[in-house]
Amino acid sequence: MTKKPVVLVVMDGVGVSENTYGNAVKNAYTPNLDWLTANYPHTTLKAHGVAVGLPSDEDMGNSEVGHNALGCGQVYAQGAKLVNVSIESGDIFTSKTWNEMTGYVRDNTLHLIGLLSDGNVHSHIDHLFALIRQAKKDGIKRVRVHILMDGRDVPETSGLIYVEKLENLLTEVSDANFDAKIASGGGRMKVTMDRYEAEWGMVELGWKTHVLGLGRMFASAKEAIETYRQELNVSDQFLPAFVIAEDGKAVGTIEDHDAVVLFNFRGDRALELSRAFEEDNFTKFDRVRRPEVYYAGMLQYDGDLQIPAKFLVAPPKIENTLSERLVAKKVNQYAISETQKYGHVTYFWNGNRTEKFDDELETFVEIKSDVLPFEQRPWMQSAQITDTLIKAVKSGKYDFLRCNYPNGDMVGHTGNYEATIIGVESVDLQLKRLYDVVEEVGGVLLITADHGNADEMYEKSKDPNAAPKPKTAHTLNRVPVIITDKSVEIKDGDFGLANIAATVSKLLGVEPDPIWMEAIIK
C-alpha cells in the first residue's frame, strides 16, 4: 500500500441512488466511472447528518462540512449544531459580542442580514427568530431584517412561506417600544452572497440594497417576490434586489451607530460582505458611504484572517488534520480546483485555515471560474483542472494530490437537469484522462464525493401528470468511493467522509493519527 502518488478526486455533488427519476448521475453517460466501479475496490460513504457533525440525519451535507470531515478525519459539531447548542444554553446571549452589541446600539437600529431559510446549510430561520426575540428582551428599540431568499437548499419557490413566518413574528413582537420590519432583500445568487471573490458585483448590489436603501421599492417583501415572479419567472435564488419603502423612503437604511449582525453561520458566502463592513482600505467597489456600525457574524468565518473581528458563536477549532500529519512527515501535497471550489480543497480541507501549514510542502492552485450561469457552460473548468493536475502528477514532485470537480454541485444547483447531465459527463471524461496518467506513474486514484446533489434533480410530485419540478438542494444520499489499487481490501462497516483521511494516510504508507476515524481499507 505504498504506491505513489495518491490522487484524491472529489466529484462535488455526485451522490449514489438507484432511483432513475431526475437522477443526472445514473442517467448520464459515464463509461469511465462505470468501468472503474466494476474493476476496482469500492463502497459508499455517508456524507450528511451526524456523520459530518450536523444535528440529525435529516440534515443534508454540504461542501464545507464535507471537506472539513475529509481533511481532518474527525467529526466536529458544525454550523447549525454549534448555533443550536449556543442558543439552547443561552451562551450566545451572554457572550461578550452580544453584550457589547446591545450596549452599542442603544436607541438606534439592529440590522439582521442573512438567508431566510430552514435549509440548515447557511442559516436557519429559528436562529433569526431567537435573535429578534432576545433583542426585544434586551431593550433594543428597532430591528430591521434584510432577507436573502434561498430556493437552493429548500424548494425553489418556497420563499413566501418563510416570509409569512417572519412577518407573523414581527407583528407578534412589535409594540410601542419595539419596531421590527423587513427592510430589503433579494435572491442569494443575485445579491450579497458571492463567494471566493467570483463576482464582487453581487456584494456591491447587496451594499446598495441593504446599506444605502437604493433599488426598486415595494410595500412588502411579499409584493416584491410576487411581482418579480410574474415579470421574470425566476426561482427564489435568482430574485432581483428589492427595498421595502414607506412614503417613498426606504424603511431600513444602515446608519452611523447602528449594529449589524450577519446571521448566516456558514463562512464562504459571508466573508465578502464582512470585509465590506470591516476593511478600512476596501477597494472591491465604491461603498459610497461606510456607516460606523458595530458589525458581527454569527460565527467567525475565517479564523486566520479574523473575519469578522466580532462573532456570536465560536467555530469549531479543528486540529490534527491530514495536511498537518503529512507536513510533519515531509509529504509534498498539491491541491487544485476552480474558483467555485478552490476554498474547499484548501481552506475547508485544512480545518478552516487560510494559511498553509508549510509553504514549501503545500502547493495550492486556483483555476479561475467563468462568471456566467453554470447551466450555460456545464463543463465548467473541468478540462483545465485536469490539464494542470496531470502536469503536477507527471512532475513527480508530489506524493499526495487532491482536486475538486464542482460540476455536479454547481450545475446541479441551477435545477437544469439536461445541463447537469452534461456536467456529470464532463467529469467522467476527465476521470479517464487522469486515471491513465496515474496508472502510468504507478500511483493510486481515490475517487469520492462530498455530498449528493446531481443524483436528485426533480422534486417528487403526488400528481403523476404534473411536469417535473426542479430540485436545487443537496440530497441525503451516500457518495461513492473507488480505489484504483486491486491489492487493497475494503473493510465491512458503515463509513463516512471522516474515514477518508486515515485511508489516504494508509495508502501513502504514513501511520494514521490515532484520533482519526479508521481507514476503510484493511
Residues serving a catalytic function are 63
Q: DSSP string of 471-516?
A: --S-B---EEEEES-TT--BPSS--BGGGHHHHHHHHTT-PPPTTS
Q: DSSP string of 170-226?
A: HHHH-BTTBEEEEEEEEETTTSS---TTS-HHHHHHHIIIIIS--S-EES-HHHHHH
In this structure, are residues 519 and 512 in contact, taking their beta carbons and an 8 Å threshold?
yes
Cell for 277?
Answer: 463592513
Q: Hey, what amino acid is at 26?
A: K
CA atoms of 221 and 351, how far apart (whole Å): 38
Q: Which residues of 458-477 are buried (b: 16+ CB within 10 A; e: fewer)?
A: bbeeeeeeeeeebbbbbbbb
In this structure, are residues 154 and 473 in contact, taking their beta carbons and an 8 Å threshold?
yes
Residue-level length of the chain: 522
Cell for 503?
Answer: 485511508
CA atoms of 63 and 497, how far apart (whole Å): 11
Cα distances from 62 to residues 205, 242, 416, 455, in angstroms, run 26, 28, 19, 14
Q: DSSP string of 121-178?
A: SS--HHHHHHHHHHHHHTT--EEEEEEEE-SSSS-TT-HHHHHHHHHHHHHHH-BTTB
CA atoms of 458 and 22, how far apart (whole Å): 5
End-to-end CA, the chain: 10
Nearest to 115 by CA among 216, 6, 190: 190
Dihedral of CA atoms 433, 439, 443, 445 in degrees, nearest 10, equals 50
In this structure, are residues 12 and 459 in contact, taking their beta carbons and an 8 Å threshold?
no
Nearest to 502 by CA among 333, 336, 321: 321
